[in-house]
Homo-oligomer: A and B are copies of this chain.
């Protein structure tokens, strides 16, 4: 049997198999992350193993695991922006703006749980670069929310004291509650949605009632 090099059996050759990409490594890392495995606990060899490459090949893509962790935040950020989009879309549909947004948020947490682990529960541990990257993403979320709050306040002619602060409070609260959702069985999502909805309403009502 003469080996005929071709795209089909390319991966049988000991060398130069399908080239590995950064995305492959990010995927491998995400596969390893779960309720009991945090990003900071991943080892280079472990990720390489999961991706099916030799440990040293890792260096072709990242300087070290920490650089991968930071890159992971970007992916998580995209998922987060999907959340914001979904929430805004949902908000403009029938039921209450707040409830719709909260529902979209929690649903997205469920759907992309691996990714959101990274943002929701690991933002306080890890390297400085990692923390800064997480903070940046949270800031985006906060800004979008702030913008929305101002828009709604004008639209409904219900001015609000310190909308930026209200946005920050809601963001932190949503993330804290979202983090606990990751450990909760999905059947308690409804309860969580109820709680978070009420909490957010408290903040909004309070901000509207406070001296401007």
A residues neighboring B (CB under 8 Å): 36, 38, 40-41, 120-122, 124-125, 127-128, 131, 161-162, 165-166, 168-169, 172-173, 175-177, 179, 183, 195, 198-199, 201-207, 209-210
Contact = CB atoms under 8 A, between A and B. Distances in A.
Main secondary structure of the interface of A (DSSP, over half): helix
Given A173-B173, A206-B203, A198 B165 contact: yes
| Interface hub of A166, A179, A202 (most chain B Cβ within 10 A) | A202
B169 A173 contact: yes
Contact of A210 (B131, B161, B202): B202
Given A165-B195, A202-B202, A40 B125 contact: yes
Contacts of A40: 38, 40-41, 125
A137 to B, nearest CB: 14
Contacts of A125: 38, 40, 121-122, 125
B198 A162 contact: yes
B195 A201 contact: no
A161 B209 CA distance: 15
Contacts of A210: 201-202, 205
